[in-house]
Amino acid sequence: MNLSDRPRRLRRSPAMRRLVRETRLSVEALVLPLFIREGVNVREPVPSLPGIDRYSPDRLPEALDAAGEAGVNNFLLFGIPNGKDAEGSGAWADDGVVQQGIRAIRRHRPDALVVTDVCLCEYTSHGHCGMLRDETVDNDTTLPILARAALSHARAGADVVAPSDMMDGRVGAIRSLLDEEGFTEIPVMSYAVKYASAFYGPFREAAGSAPGKGDRRGYQMDWHNRREAVREARLDLQEHADMLIVKPALSCLDIVSDIAAISPVPVAAYSVSGEYAMIRAAGQNGWIDEYGVMCESAVATFRAGADIYITYFANELATAIRKGDIG
Ligand code: PBG
């Protein structure tokens, strides 16, 4: 081979490496989940998510200020009510915990982008994501309740609603009710591809939302399946989903890539609680370089095709991006 035909390595200097990077990250693409606890003057740690706290609405400003300092402006809200019932009525109560949280955020950071998780599992006494009939989740009776929850979030001031329940037809049900009630501009960010994953463990501890009996495999996806993810995404697009979520992220990068390839709308990857917990725990033990693994996992997710990254590391990543350590 003629020596001048040899491909040159573009890795010689930091500046050159930066110039030719294929994946670039933006602080604006990060979304920080927030756990909102009913009550007053509560800020309590989540044992399985070191560094993540649950806040009552009045103390949310502390979380918002920390995020603001890091440059994070997008939030995904989860509610933890004091009381639960069979219908999950706390999910759509006007003065429900998430609704209070939305208003608190609106007051403190009017510029923040507020996405709300729409689901029933935190609000139902049985811990399932929908209505139970004879011990199984009944898809169709759940739909109007989810739509009602989404509407109450929109009324409280949410910018985006994100149904995570995995019932069939819920994107359409939510869209119709929002439109009827005049919220035509509020987008639906659908958890289109959500696997029945063991990686949600710490979240269920944080939100007190583990099902009392049974599991979620009847409505969440089987992680043996890849083509089914594309089918789920297409169904949600037919119902006019405005953004799609794939979750978990790290164990589903093939899926993120598949969905990014077919999706006409933005794709979010959700790096879930178990991913954060693993990285934190191994880091705290000195077994891995926590900062390096956090950065690499984030970049890998964007490299797979994600447009938006939902992560408990949002503040730390934003700082890494601004320092120039990644992207
Ligand atoms: C609610 C919901 C869950 C998560 C997001 N929305 C829990 C579940 O489905 O059991 C998990 C998020 C995480 O693990 O960080 N259905």
pLDDT in tens, 112-129: 999 999 999 999 999 999
Nearest ligand 1 atom to the CA of 122 is 1
pLDDT computed for residue 60 by the predictor: 98
> What spacing in Å lies between the alpha carbon of 195 and ligand 1's midpoint?
10
Q: How far is the CA of 135 from the centre of ligand 1 (A)?
A: 21
Q: Whose CA is nearest to atom 6 of ligand 1?
A: 164
| Per-residue model confidence (pLDDT) at position 78 | 97
Distance (angstroms) between ligand 1 centre and the Cα of 203 equals: 6
Cis ω for the linkage preceding 264 (within 30 of 0): no
DSSP states of 59-88 = GHHHHHHHHHHHT--EEEEEEE-S--BTT-
Look at residue 7 in the predicted model and tell me its pLDDT. 81
Categorise residue 208: left if φ over 0, alpha if ψ from -120 to 50, beta otherwise. left
Closest Cα to atom 11 of ligand 1: 200
Nearest to residue 78, comparing CAs of 50, 106, 54? 54
Tell me what pLDDT residue 1 has: 61
Interval between CA 16 and ligand 1 midpoint (Å): 40
247 is catalytic: yes
Cα 2 to middle of ligand 1, angstroms: 56
**Tokens 């985006």 identify what position?**
160
Instruction: Dump the DSSP string for 266-317.
Output: -EEEEE-HHHHHHHHHHHHTTSS-HHHHHHHHHHHHHHHT-SEEEETTHHHH
Nearest-atom index, ligand 1, CA of 203: 14
In ligand 1, which atom is closest to the CA atom of 78? 6
- For position 3, what pLDDT does the model report? 72
What confidence score (pLDDT) does residue 134 get? 84
**Test site for ligand 1: of 77, 124, 164, 245, most ligand atoms within 8 A of the Cβ:** 164
* pLDDT attached to residue 12: 85
Distance between alpha carbon 260 and the CA centroid of its chain, in Å?
17
Residue ranges of the chain whose pLDDT lies below 70: 1
Beta-strand ranges (E) seen in 173-266 are 189-194, 243-247
Q: What is the pLDDT of residue 288?
A: 98
Q: Give the binding-site residues of ligand 1, using a 6 Å CB cut-off.
A: 117, 119, 121, 129, 164, 200, 203-204, 216, 272-273
323 is catalytic: no
